[in-house]
Amino acid sequence: MDHVRVKWNGKRRFVGWDEAGHGVVMDATAEHKGDGSGPRPLELVLYALGGCTGIDIVSILEKQRQDVVDFELDITAEQRDEPPKLYRRITIEYIITGRDLKPAMVERAIKLSEEKYCSVGAMFGPETRLETTYRIVDA
């Protein structure tokens, strides 16, 4: 079972940590009475999505014996205008650098992550449209 604690730290700032001691500061923007001293909680969902699908894809490509030397995810999201301000559209561009990477294997890794392995992505409901593209860069 996962367990984290989150504690208010004044104004709109909250600090969270897990059992291993990893911590994160979350805050609101100045327009919402925060100091902007950390990501907004909803932005952390994007970090989590990127980390989740990224871990999946690296693992799958390694099993396929693809030589990945660098990997970056560029994630943008649009929110609904009315509360709750859910993400209505999330776009991920996977930028994978490697030696002799096979596009079919990269596509398969992305598809497996999206459809089977990424728990964070699976938490989004039908009101969130997830769009992905990828780019292979030769090392």
**What mean pLDDT, rounded, does the chain reach?**
97
Task: Give pLDDT, residue 44.
Answer: 97
pLDDT digits (tens, 9 = 90+) for 18-69: 999 999 999 999 999 999 999 999 999 999 999 999 999 999 999 999 999 9
Same domain, 87 and 132: yes
DSSP string spanning 46-64?
HHHHHHHHHHHHHHHHHHT
Task: Give pLDDT, residue 28.
Answer: 97
Can you give the CATH number for the domain in which 73 is found?
Answer: 3.30.300.20
Mode of pairing for the β-strands spanning 67-79 and 87-99: antiparallel
* Over residues 105-119, mean pLDDT: 98
Length of the chain: 139
How many domains is the chain built from? 2
Same domain, 29 and 67: no
Same domain, 122 and 133: yes
Same domain, 46 and 28: no
Same domain, 28 and 46: no
Same domain, 64 and 28: no
Domain hosting 66: range is 41-138
Task: Give pLDDT, residue 47.
Answer: 98
Neighbouring residues of 131: CB distance < 8 A, sequence distance ≥ 6: 89, 90, 91, 92
Same domain, 66 and 125: yes
Neighbouring residues of 117: CB distance < 8 A, sequence distance ≥ 6: 56, 60
Task: Give pLDDT, residue 16.
Answer: 98
Same domain, 60 and 72: yes
- Global pTM reads 0.94
- Alpha helices by DSSP H, 23-100: 41-63
What is the end-to-end Cα distance of the chain in Å, rounded? 40
Residue 129: pLDDT band (50, 70, 90) is very high
